[in-house]
Copies of this chain bind each other. A is one copy, B any other.
Amino acid sequence: MEKTLVFGHKNPDTDTICSALAYANLKAKLGVHAEAARLGEVNKETQFALDYFQVEAPVFIEAVPEDVKDVILVDHNEFQQSVSNIKDVRITEVIDHHRVSNFETKEPLYFRAEPVGCTATILNKLYKENGVAITKEIAGLLLSAIISDSLLLKSPTCTQEDIDAAHELAKIAGVDLDKYGLDMLQAGADLSDKSAQELITMDAKEFAMGNAKVEIAQVNTVDASKVYELQSELEEEMDKAINDKGLDLFLFVVTDILNNDSEVFARGTGKDKVEEAFGASLDSNNRALLKGVVSRKKQIVTALTDAFTK
């Protein structure tokens, strides 16, 4: 049987890595020759989860290898967030919880997107729908994904389904949800060894908004002021990315996981759109504190898309 690769988005986060592993596991149990892959480095938060549940990271790929024809996308659908040669392969399935955009297929496929906080919540359902029991390891991975995407069930993207799934999975995984969750988030919030270049790329996603090209990078921290000690280096790297990729806006989002706020830093000709989108003024450092804003998807992309398209 030909191999099907299962992978999430570039600059993988915990949901992307864990959902790729879990869905490859489910597909394998259903008789498909499926293998998980990743499009980038495993971050510290995800590594904490993999270590805790003793699961190996998926294999790294730059592009889909020539001998693989079929792929399954998890946790994303927009082609610019996917593998470079996505248009040359057949997408047989998508499991996702994002908006649908810049995506198309030639043939019918299984496309399952739900407006929940995390891909893993949908996968938890798919295990049940297919009558496959979830092991302790897989439960741990799915739980970690939900904790990550929902900032320990506090993000506005978090739904009752995510909360129920998290509690269910914590039981199977044999961990205390709050204790494990905070430990995992804090492992990811340790940015002390990151260069400015790493900070603006480790969790960056590119979006088309009207005719504008917008890149939004996000990091979690317990102390935003520490991150902004690198203000001038960050500015330099962001301007470089703007030039290299022809961006209209680069927005760097530093999210405080204890206070659930974000301090954003905007560069590019489109930075007035940030003020417009959030009714906030950028200070002399081009930064603004957005109270209660933690979700790129639900609070930032939607508001910015409105500002760029109206």
Contact = CB atoms under 8 A, between A and B. Distances in A.
B114 A110 contact: yes
Contact of A108 (B103, B112, B113): B113
Contacts of A102: 104
A99 interface: yes
B99 A109 contact: yes
Q: Within the oligomer, what is the number of copies of this chain?
A: 2
A27 interface: no
Contacts of A306: 106
Task: Please classify the interface of chain A as helix (H, G, I), strand (E, B), loop, or mixed, using the class held by over half of its residues.
Answer: loop
B101 A109 contact: no
Nearest to A208: B104
A101 B113 CA distance: 15
A103 B114 CA distance: 16
A109 to B, nearest CB: 6
A105 B100 contact: yes
Interface residues of A, number: 25
Interface of A: 97-115, 129, 297-298, 302, 305-306
A31 B109 CA distance: 29
A115 B110 contact: yes
A109 B115 contact: yes
A72 to B, nearest CB: 13
Nearest to A297: B108
A254 to B, nearest CB: 24
A53 to B, nearest CB: 28
A201 to B, nearest CB: 25
Contacts of A111: 100, 111-114
Contact of A106 (B114, B129, B302): B302
A112 to B, nearest CB: 6
